[in-house]
Amino acid sequence: MIAGTVLPLQRAEELIGTLSGVVSVRIVPTESGLVDTIHVLTTGETQPKQMVRNVESALMAHLGMRVDHRKVSVATTSARPTPPPGALASLAEVRGSEEGGVAGAVPRRTLYFEDVEIRGSRAKGVGCKVTLRRGDDVFVGDAEGFESDRSRVELAARATLTAIAKSEGEERRVLLLEGSKVFEAFDRQFVFVGVTVRMGRESALLTGSAEVKDSAETAAVLAVLDATNRWVAGRAN
């Protein structure tokens, strides 16, 4: 079986290559065309753990690829290598496509997860702060509620929607959390969310999911991004 016939590995490499701080990417496939290892060389401006999260988020949001974080290997370099012949043209095509010039591009409006913080709240017991990033722009969303495992997941999802709303600027789009749920499947835990998007008279129900790895709160953020990034990207195009 030819590598990439099961998953779009070349497209995945191109996508990861657009992330901030990435110098080069190489995906090693299995004999069946699945992902065995993802090798990412970076400038070091993004911490390795955060880069792994960015890779996971990008692949899930754009290609629907769920890759175990243990398959992502991150190394840093102090010098950016000279691009091979033809690379500059390819880079120009990618950048031009981000501006909307080429179909199938990675939209510049895509948001990436950076951090989630749970803290005590005098008013309602617990607060959540979520930080998202788009290029050099950072967007922070907050939410407060009462303490419980379920409330923490919902707070993380609500805070994520607040951060997304801030990133939208002047666009009058309303994002509402319909619900969130932690469930078990295949001996693993997942967070599933439903988000309603309203713009004028139009409305759409978006759903997203993410495996619980670092924490349920982190999975809630990634699930919301899974639900909304494709829709936002589609609207941008």
**Do residues 233 and 222 lie in contact, with contact meaning Cβ atoms separated by under 8 Å?**
no
Give the pairing of strands 72-76 and 35-42. Answer: parallel
* Maximum pairwise Cα distance, the chain: 60
How far apart, in whole angstroms, are the C-alpha atoms of residue 170 and residue 150?
32
What is the predicted pLDDT for the residue at 103? 38
What is the predicted pLDDT for the residue at 235? 53
How far apart, in whole angstroms, are the C-alpha atoms of residue 58 and residue 63?
8
List the strands of the sheet with 22-29, edge to edge: 22-29, 35-42, 72-76
What is the predicted pLDDT for the residue at 184? 85
What is the predicted pLDDT for the residue at 4? 42
Domains, the chain, ranges and CATH?
9-98 (3.30.300), 112-236 (3.30.160.270)
Q: How far is CA 130 from the centre of its chain?
A: 13
Segment-wise mean pLDDT, segments of 10 residues, the chain, 237 residues? 56 84 86 84 85 85 81 76 42 38 45 85 78 87 79 91 82 80 84 84 81 87 83 53
What is the predicted pLDDT for the residue at 1? 36
